[in-house]
């Protein structure tokens, strides 16, 4: 008795192997594309996040920029000034001095020197955005901060690029542009530009220097806002990609001295003369 045995023919086996091979190639290609897309998306997210974080740090520093102007001292100095007597009016009597009274102790008052010096490529100023990392760290409530572009060696690749540096000086000195320690804030920077505006200016300015500048109208005066343009460029999968941000940061409290009006008081404290009388 002959039994019928069912089996795959050679053509069926070859066809099955061809289908499996095709499916394997398609799956491998899809996985490769997915991994490349994942790497690309991660790099883009990392670049954009680093760019936003750098702008956030600059925004926090500029928002809390500190311009020292003591209104209390101005009021006290103004009160100490003696008002000159009018014609025909006797002068105010001088209080007697007790020779046995102890000498008054005077504490020398040192006002902090706070300046704002910036141009299109760098900026240096004093800010209240000061994080204290150690409990016993002796420092003031305000620090000097500076931003500038300098070449540096990248951490991820053995290459060099333009990097945005942040400088911090914990002790205020006579020069707001020097001293302190620098740290890299952002790599692969293609563009870093700054512009300034204030109450005394009608348009954006390329520089703003409260000291050492040629513009007398901004001496001792902090700007009202700073425009930041920051862009990075990175080569990814053989293509160069650029990401940029532009942000206008207002200074929370410029604390600028009030403008002196010509019709308020004269230099000796007396009211100005009235013309026509």
pLDDT of 69: 79
Dmax (CA) of the chain: 153
Taking residue 143's Cβ as centre, other Cβ atoms within 10 Å add up to 21
Distance CA 259, CA 203 (A): 19
**Stated pTM of the model:** 0.71
Distance CA 44, CA 234 (A): 9
pLDDT of 269: 47
- Average of per-residue pLDDT values in the chain: 81
Give the pLDDT confidence of 230-241 residue by residue, as tens digits.
999 988 777 888
Q: What is the CA radius of gyration of the chain?
A: 34
Strand order in the sheet with 239-250: 189-197, 225-236, 239-250
Helix (H/G/I), strand (E/B), else coil: 212: coil
Low-confidence ranges of the chain (pLDDT < 50): 264-277
pLDDT of 264: 47
Contact between residue 218 and residue 200 where contact means Cβ atoms under 8 Å apart: yes
| Tokens coding 10 | 């050679």
Helix (H/G/I), strand (E/B), else coil: 128: coil
Q: Where are the alpha helices (DSSP H) in 64-181?
A: 71-80
Contact between residue 201 and residue 221 where contact means Cβ atoms under 8 Å apart: no
Contact between residue 244 and residue 191 where contact means Cβ atoms under 8 Å apart: yes
Q: What are phi and psi of 160, to 5 degrees?
A: -120, 155
pLDDT of 275: 40
Domain boundary assignment for the chain: 13-73+111-250
Give the pLDDT confidence of 55-70 residue by residue, as tens digits.
999 999 999 999 987 7
Nearest to 166 by CA among 179, 152, 180, 185: 185
Distance CA 124, CA 207 (A): 11
């Amino acid at each position: 008795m002959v039994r019928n045995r069912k089996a795959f023919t050679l053509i069926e086996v070859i066809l099955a192997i061809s289908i499996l091979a095709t499916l394997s190639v398609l799956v491998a290609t899809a996985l490769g594309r997915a991994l490349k897309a994942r790497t690309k998306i991660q790099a883009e997210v990392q670049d954009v996040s680093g760019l936003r974080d750098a702008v956030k740090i600059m925004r926090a520093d500029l928002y809390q920029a500190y311009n020292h102007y003591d209104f209390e001292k101005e009021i006290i100095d103004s009160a100490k000034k003696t008002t000159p007597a009018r014609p025909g009016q006797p002068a105010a009597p001088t209080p007697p001095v007790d020779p046995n009274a102890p000498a008054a102790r005077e504490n020398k008052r040192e006002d902090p020197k706070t300046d704002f010096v910036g141009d299109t490529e760098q900026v240096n100023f004093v800010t209240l955005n000061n994080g204290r990392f150690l409990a016993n760290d002796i420092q003031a409530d305000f620090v000097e901060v500076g931003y500038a572009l300098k070449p540096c060696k990248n951490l991820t690749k053995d290459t060099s690029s333009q990097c945005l540096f942040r400088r911090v000086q914990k002790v205020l000195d006579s020069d707001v542009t020097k001293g302190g320690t620098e740290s890299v804030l952002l790599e692969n920077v293609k563009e870093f530009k700054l512009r300034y505006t204030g109450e005394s200016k009608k348009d954006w300015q390329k520089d703003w220097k409260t000291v050492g500048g040629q513009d007398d109208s901004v001496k001792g005066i902090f700007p009202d806002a700073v425009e930041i343009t920051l862009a990075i460029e990175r080569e990814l999968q053989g293509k160069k990609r650029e990401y940029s941000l532009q942000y206008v940061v207002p200074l929370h409290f410029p604390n600028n001295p009030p403008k002196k009006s010509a019709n308020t008081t004269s230099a000796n404290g007396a009211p100005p003369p009235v013309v026509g009388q």
